[in-house]
Structure 1
Amino acid sequence: MGMKGKIALGAVVSFVVIGVVSANGNGNGDGSASDSGKHSSASAQNDSGGKKTQAAEKKAAFVGYGDFRVGSDVKPGTYRTTGNTDGMCYWERAKDAKGETDSILANDNVSGTSYVTVKATDKIFKSTGCKDWEAVDLKAKGTPASTMAGDGGMFRVGADIAPGTYRSTGNTDDSCYWERAKDADHALRSIIANNNVTGTAVVTISASDGYFKTTGCKAWKKTG
């Protein structure tokens, strides 16, 4: 299936980084959260599928393939891509266009949904194999759910999912990874807590958290 891209800054989630103090803060995060993943914003209640498609196209800020110059092709802000399958979506924030590993500020391979905050100090945003990206209105309020798909990607706390304690059971071989994040910068300092889990996972998501990320897990249900 080929390489999706270079991996840097701990963007791969197959290891645990509990209580990391970031030495790699790539500029100060704006702490922005975004609308989250699986529960993409409610679709327009039109009878016509064509009208729904037009509404979806209107929301797209840029397509899921290509290298975009920050400031001209892509404006700084928080963006979301949803509906990605099989981890084939790869994105990257880069400080220059050299294409070297040292150029990478943050990156990830995505299943489900990803939120990313593109900063004014970034130079290039790369996206490969992703669904279209849409701009996120950070002031918009959703209807927070009390369940999450275990491979749903990133959920915005307070908009996509409600704060509380969640439980996921039946996970095998440390394949379940969860992460509480304070923003969508994807820097090491963004991580509040995380873990790789075998068996049952229980985690309390705080109202002050920005996002919750889950990959390779069984479904999560709110227990309290």
Structure 2
Amino acid sequence: MSQQKRNWFARHKVLTAAGAVVAVVVIGAAVGGGGDTEPTTGAKQRQEQPAKQGGEKKAPEAAEKKGPTIGGDGDFEVGSDAKPGLYRSTGNEDAGCYWERAKNASADTDSILANDNVTGTAYVEIKATDKLFKSSGCGTWETVDAKAKGTPGTTLKGDGGMFKVGVDIAPGTYKSTGNKDAECYWERAQDATHGTDSILANDNVTGTAIVKVSASDAYFKSSGCGDWVKTG
């Protein structure tokens, strides 16, 4: 069975061997989990510049330190190839990025803890209890400091993927218009584990969608929607 068939994009939370698609209507509050990846080799260090005649030799600048990353393609064993933690992959196009958290290497649908086909940005929290993290066609997964601050936006791309509340998106009421045939899916989540328990609320929308993103939400997810504009 292909990865595409096995995917249970958040709006299709029922996972079956036949890859059945079941739309999810609004879901109430719940709970969530943790992360991982493989350290990259050291960043390229700037070459030492020769000292000017009569002057002292300038010491080379230290290489910029980067956190562990995970490649965009491959199977990664959690704990050795991939460290638990919060990761982000950006620049993914047309749902060509597929990722999966798995509890073993059987490749059976029963082994899947969570997965997604991604357009735009994805955040995934890999838990220490996960066994494998799989990624195909994705941008490099970079570690994210869960406490990092940002400059939250008030307009969001409707197909931008996941937005971290307080970092990528400011809390408030948002509106998206012109959505057709329930292709617009939005989700408020309390973590990035992507289990059904992480969903605070979600919907498939036709026409206009209005959503209040709370400061206590962790993430806002949008796929196939018109752009979101903060109205209050």
**What's the offset of the Cα at 1:58?**
4.9
State the 1:9 CA deviation: 8.6
Whose relative contact order is higher, 1 or 2, with alpha carbons under 8 Å and at least 6 apart?
1
8 A contact 2:98–2:115 mirrored in 1: yes
Cα RMSD of the aligned pairs, angstroms, is: 2.4
The CA distance in 1 between the partners of 2:119 and 2:7, in whole Å, is 16
Mapped to 2, the partners of 1:79 and 1:96 lie a distance apart of: 20
Moved more, 11-20 or 109-118: 11-20
For residue 222 of structure 2, what is the amino acid of its counterpart? T
Distance 2:173 2:195 in 1: 25
Q: Describe how 1:176-187 pairs up with structure 2 within 5 A.
A: 176-187=184-195
Question: Which of 103, 110, 122 does residue 102 from structure 1 map onto?
Answer: 110
Contiguous gaps of at least 5 residues in structure 1: 33-53
CA distance in 1, matches of 2:197, 2:125: 14
State how many pairs are aligned.
Answer: 196
1:29 matched to which residue of 2? 33
Which position in structure 2 is the counterpart of 1:194?
202
Task: Write out aligned runs for 1:162-177 (5 A).
Answer: 162-177=170-185
- Listed one character per residue, the Cα deviations across residues 12-46 of structure 1 (whole Å, up to 9, x for unaligned) are 47722422577xx7xx525x9xxxxxxxxxxxxxx
Residues 1:10 and 1:158: Cα distance change in structure 2 (over 3 Å): closer
2:75 is equivalent to residue 71 of structure 1: no
User: Following superposition of structure 1 onto structure 2, how do residues 1-224 of structure 1 map, counting pairs within 5 Å?
Assistant: 3-4=3-4, 6-8=6-8, 12=12, 15-20=23-28, 29=33, 58=66, 61-224=69-232
TM-score between both structures, scaled by the size of structure 2? 0.78
Q: Quickly say closer, same or farther: Cα 1:124–1:5, change in 2 above 3 A.
A: farther
Question: Matches of 1:156 and 1:113 in 2, distance apart?
Answer: 10
1:4 is displaced (CA, Å) by 3.1
Q: Distance in 1 between matches of 2:11 and 2:77?
A: 21
2:184/2:225 contact within 8 Å kept: yes
Does the 8 Å CA contact 1:176/1:216 hold for their aligned counterparts?
A: yes
Give the greater-gyration-radius structure (CA): 2
Give the AA of the match of 1:123: K
Q: Please say if residues 94 and 105 of structure 1, whose CA atoms lie closer than 8 Å, have aligned partners that are also in contact.
A: yes
User: 1:75 is matched by which residue type in structure 2?
Assistant: K
Identity among equivalent positions (%) equals 60
Letter aligned with residue 207 of structure 1: A
The answer on whether the counterparts of 2:68 and 2:83 sit within 8 Å (CA) in structure 1 is: no
Kept in 1: contact 2:172–2:213 (CA 8 A)? yes
State how far apart, in whole Å, the 2-side matches of 1:151 and 1:9 are.
14
Equivalent-residue separation in structure 2 for 1:19 and 1:11 (angstroms): 10
Instruction: Supply the AA of the counterpart residue of 1:29.
Output: G
**So what's the TM-score if we normalise by structure 1?**
0.81
